[in-house]
Amino acid sequence: MDNSEVWASTSKSWVNQVSREPVDLTHCDGEQVQFPGAIMPHGVLLILTLSDFRILGASANTGFWFGCDVEQLLHCHLDRIVAPDIQQTLETSLAHITEPELPRYLGSFQPAQGNHRFDVFAHRSCDVFIVEFEAIPAEVAENGSTGRMAEVSECISRLHAAETWEEGMAIGARELKRLTGFDSVVGARFLDDGSFHAIAETCESYFPSVLDKRFPRSDIPEPARRQMLLMPLQYALDLDYEPVPLVIADQAHEPLQIDLGFAVLRSISPMCRRFYRNMGVQSRLVISLVDQGELWGFFSCKNATPRQVVYSDRLVLKLFAEMSALLLVEKERAEQLQDALQIKRRISKIAAELSSADVFSDVLIQLPEQVLDNLDVTGVALCLDSKILCAGVTPEATVIQALISWLDEQGQSLFTTDRLPTLFGSTTQSLGQATGLLAGCLMESGQYILCFRPEHVHEVKWAGNPLKQIEIDVVSGEERFTPRGSFEVWKQEMRGTARAWQFYEIEALTDLQQAVIQLQYTENQRVLRSQLAQSNAELEAFAYIVSHDLQEPLRGISNFAQILVDSSSGKIGQQELSWLNTILNLSGRMSHQINALLQYSRASQQPLVVQLVDLNLLLHSVLEDLSATIKNTETQIQISQTLPTLACDRIRLASVFSNLITNAIKYNDQAERRIEIGCLENPTLTFFVRDNGIGIPEKFYDKIFTIFRRLHGRNDYGGGTGAGLAITRKHIERHGGCLWLESTPGQGTTFYFTLGSGLVFSADNDGDPHD
């Protein structure tokens, strides 16, 4: 038996009481679909108080289903409708519902009056319980759930075997048609712009086919989408119904304020009904496919006549839908990941090549071609300052320059668009056909890697003209937006955009961008280092040349002054002779200083001659050379430890020891001069020369290492040019070591030095770790 006609006739009497919403698309997105204040007629909805389960309101059709008018039920308990034991059961169940959530199934019951059985659901909505009684048609036999489950299990296995997600959708649609017996099942996938695409369809011939057609976003307005997420399965037995209004006793509640978002019997938006009726649909079942809280797609089942799907069947379908969503999404993702993985692997290889490259420019010259070969793009440009390296089809250099300035204004390190001409304000032609742009900024502004894609001209088959929604209202003669009456294919050529950039393509560019930036950074460091090295080398060469060339005229001055002294004896006075001698003294001093400068620059310029040196022998020979001074000053020399044998430049190290020991003797006014020489092993090998001399105030620690810097009068402490410590430090630095001191004025000074490890000594004595 089909109740629909009966319901339709009984519902007519409420027509005037229901608020009739005008069918108008302009306010669809704002429509409060979960507050219709009415339900579908194939059941009864009761509103109960939270505290004592009294009936606060009910749908106006209780007389038809329960044989008891709404007015008689208000303020009563459930025992007005069902037997006391059932009332007890229902109330116990209700007491367990504490949160607003999807309706809970309480069981199937038969009221005290009437012949109908009902599936009963309950949920909380704000401050009331909503209890729904959905009529079970008499002819629906208790079918064993085992058989149903077995059927669904087989369906899922078939879906699982699908090669692609599109094939999976086709299988899903076919299986759903079989399970539900509906005339038409369409499987659709939502696209990024909110429109949706009918991927699969199983359809009786008398239904218009929508297969492979696109539907605009407005066909499922925002509230309907929210509802699809809220209720993954929505069912309407007969769309051609008169809504049954709610009647409420309590002044505090208005029917239109009762949230029926979760209600199974919620009356469907008039807009939506009109949409389906335009297609000739009377019964519909929509199963949402949800992926991580987002609408992924849906199956829409349509029937030309009312078609009963009872709760137990819907339950099984919901299970099928949830499994399908998991499988389909997983299949789609796997396909995408395969593409992504392939691109990722190829791009990683290029990035790795970049980062291991020695010659900056060589690898970058190849880069555009490599990117062109490995990404789905038609042109690549690498813009480094004034240089633009291109591969494939790209805009002209001047346009690229303009584009770069424009990108700099955008100020994003990564920029993507599929409609560059619109954003850039230019024609596709002047952009060299580039419509899609994926741009990554490199180390400095004005430096970019740009990937171009052409316009993707393609045809979309809309299900009817999506723009043409104006119809003349027959009654009022006014223009208004109404759902389309026709779903005849309406072809639209899509222009102005490129294929959208996929997440993995964007990731690939980011990887490349990082690799190039890293390379640029390394290159910058290298250039700076070599500039610094060159500048240092030039400075040292300068010092060498200057000191050498100055020596020559100075010698001339000195020589001729001497010749003058020799050849003028008796001819000039004492005063003149004294002046000539002053010239000789000054030029002698200058010669010493130039020599010191020469030594100093030689210390930095000439390569180290590294060999294994027994430092004990070396020190011994240094002391031998200084023996006259040591003897004259009666200096006590103590060598604390046996010194190691290590790789170093013998001559330089001898100079280091000689200089430090000479200083230790010179700057000492003690009656008994003592010098201790030794080395410490912890943590690194450190040599020291310790004296009991005059010491150095801490503020002079730095200055003593500056060339020609003296702390004392020119002739105090035996005089000297003031270059010794500068040269000594240079020798030690050339070994990769450091020289420093500790001193207490009046008590003595200790100079410490280390020699860098890792000096390479070669048999032919020309190894130099620094050159």
Partner 1 sequence: MVKTIKKMRPLMIVEDSDEDFEVFCWALQKTGFTRPVIRAESAEVALTHLFPELLQADRIDPLPCLVLMDLNLPGVNGLQLLEQLSKMKQLLSIPVVIMSTSNNPLDIEACYCFGAAGYITKPFKLEDYIEKVRALTHYWFNTVMLPEGSD
CB of 648 to partner 1, least distance (A): 17
Closest to partner 1 by CB, 345 vs 548, is: 548
Binders of partner 1 in range 616-655 (CB under 8 A): 651
Task: Tell me if 562 contacts partner 1 by CB under 8 A.
Answer: yes
User: Where does this chain touch partner 1 (CB under 8 A) — which range of 46-54, 284-292, 448-456, 548-556?
Assistant: 548-556
Return the DSSP state at 688: E
Task: Tell me if 558 contacts partner 1 by CB under 8 A.
Answer: yes
CB of 549 to partner 1, least distance (A): 8
Closest to partner 1 by CB, 409 vs 552, is: 552
Q: According to CB under 8 A, which one of 10, 510, 551, 670 is a site residue for partner 1?
A: 551
Closest to partner 1 by CB, 198 vs 594, is: 594
Choose among 663, 656, 667, 620: nearest CA to 639.
620
Closest to partner 1 by CB, 153 vs 765, is: 765
Question: What is the radius of gyration, based on Cα positions, of the chain?
Answer: 48
Closest to partner 1 by CB, 181 vs 588, is: 588
Closest to partner 1 by CB, 229 vs 563, is: 563
CB neighbours (10 Å) of residue 13?
A: 13
Binders of partner 1 in range 649-668 (CB under 8 A): 651
H or E element at residue 610: strand 610-614
CB of 546 to partner 1, least distance (A): 14
Closest to partner 1 by CB, 606 vs 629, is: 606
CB of 769 to partner 1, least distance (A): 19
Q: Residue 270, preceding bond cis, omega within 30 degrees? A: no
Query: Following DSSP, what letter does each residue of 189-222 receive, concatenated?
Result: EE-TTS-EEEEEEEE-TTSPP-TT-EE-GGGS-H
Side chain identity, residue 759 = L
User: Where does this chain touch partner 1 (CB under 8 A) — which range of 208-216, 384-392, 510-518, 562-570?
Assistant: 562-570
CB of 566 to partner 1, least distance (A): 8
CA distance 193 to 419: 14
- The counts of H helices and E strands in the chain are 18, 29
User: Where does this chain touch partner 1 (CB under 8 A) — which range of 29-37, 97-105, 555-563, 617-625?
Assistant: 555-563
Closest to partner 1 by CB, 559 vs 762, is: 559
* Contact string 672-691 vs partner 1 (x = CB under 8 A): --------------------
CA distance 705 to 728: 9
Angle at 137 between CA 132 and CA 143, to 5 degrees: 100
Q: Please state whether beta strands 645-649 and 489-494 pair in parallel, antiparallel, or not at all (unpaired).
A: unpaired
Task: Tell me if 555 contacts partner 1 by CB under 8 A.
Answer: yes
User: Where does this chain touch partner 1 (CB under 8 A) — which range of 113-121, 308-316, 558-566, 620-628?
Assistant: 558-566
Count residues binding partner 1 (CB under 8 A).
16
Task: Tell me if 556 contacts partner 1 by CB under 8 A.
Answer: yes
Closest to partner 1 by CB, 143 vs 585, is: 585
Q: According to CB under 8 A, which one of 552, 634, 672, 702 is a site residue for partner 1?
A: 552
Q: Using CB atoms within 10 Å of the CB of residue 567, give its burial: 0 to 12 exposed, 13 to 18 middle, 19+ buried.
A: exposed
Q: How far is C-alpha 72 from the geometric centre of its chain's CA atoms?
A: 63
Closest to partner 1 by CB, 287 vs 596, is: 596
Closest to partner 1 by CB, 492 vs 562, is: 562
Angle at 282 between CA 281 and CA 285, to 5 degrees: 85
CA distance 365 to 129: 71
Choose among 483, 443, 405, 358: nearest CA to 23.
483
CB of 540 to partner 1, least distance (A): 14
Closest to partner 1 by CB, 340 vs 586, is: 586
What beta strand segments (E) does 511-580 contain? none
> Helix/strand/coil (H, E, C) string of 704-739?
HHCCCCCCCCCCHHHCCCCCHHHHHHHHHHHCCCCE
Side chain identity, residue 360 = F
Q: According to CB under 8 A, which one of 521, 542, 560, 701 is a site residue for partner 1?
A: 560
User: Where does this chain touch partner 1 (CB under 8 A) — which range of 7-15, 127-135, 153-161, 552-560?
Assistant: 552-560
Is residue 63 classed as helix, strand or coil in its secondary structure?
Answer: helix
Task: Tell me if 559 contacts partner 1 by CB under 8 A.
Answer: yes
Closest to partner 1 by CB, 426 vs 611, is: 611
Segment 289-295 long-range contacts (CB within 8 Å, at least 24 positions apart):
289/321, 289/324, 289/325, 289/328, 289/329, 290/229, 290/232, 290/325, 291/325, 291/329, 293/229, 295/190, 295/225, 295/228, 295/229
CB of 565 to partner 1, least distance (A): 9
CB of 625 to partner 1, least distance (A): 17
Q: Where are the alpha helices (DSSP H) in 375-412?
A: 397-410
Q: According to CB under 8 A, which one of 95, 126, 563, 612 is a site residue for partner 1?
A: 563
CB of 594 to partner 1, least distance (A): 10
Closest to partner 1 by CB, 405 vs 559, is: 559
* Contact string 586-615 vs partner 1 (x = CB under 8 A): --x--x----------x---x---------
Segment 683-686 long-range contacts (CB within 8 Å, at least 24 positions apart):
684/754, 684/757, 685/644, 685/646, 685/754, 685/755, 686/752, 686/753, 686/754
CB of 614 to partner 1, least distance (A): 21
Closest to partner 1 by CB, 81 vs 727, is: 727
What beta strand segments (E) does 442-488 contain? 448-454, 458-463, 470-472, 479-481
CB of 562 to partner 1, least distance (A): 4
Q: According to CB under 8 A, which one of 468, 529, 548, 620 is a site residue for partner 1?
A: 548
Residues that bind partner 1 (CB under 8 A): 548, 551-552, 555-556, 558-560, 562-563, 566, 588, 591, 602, 606, 651
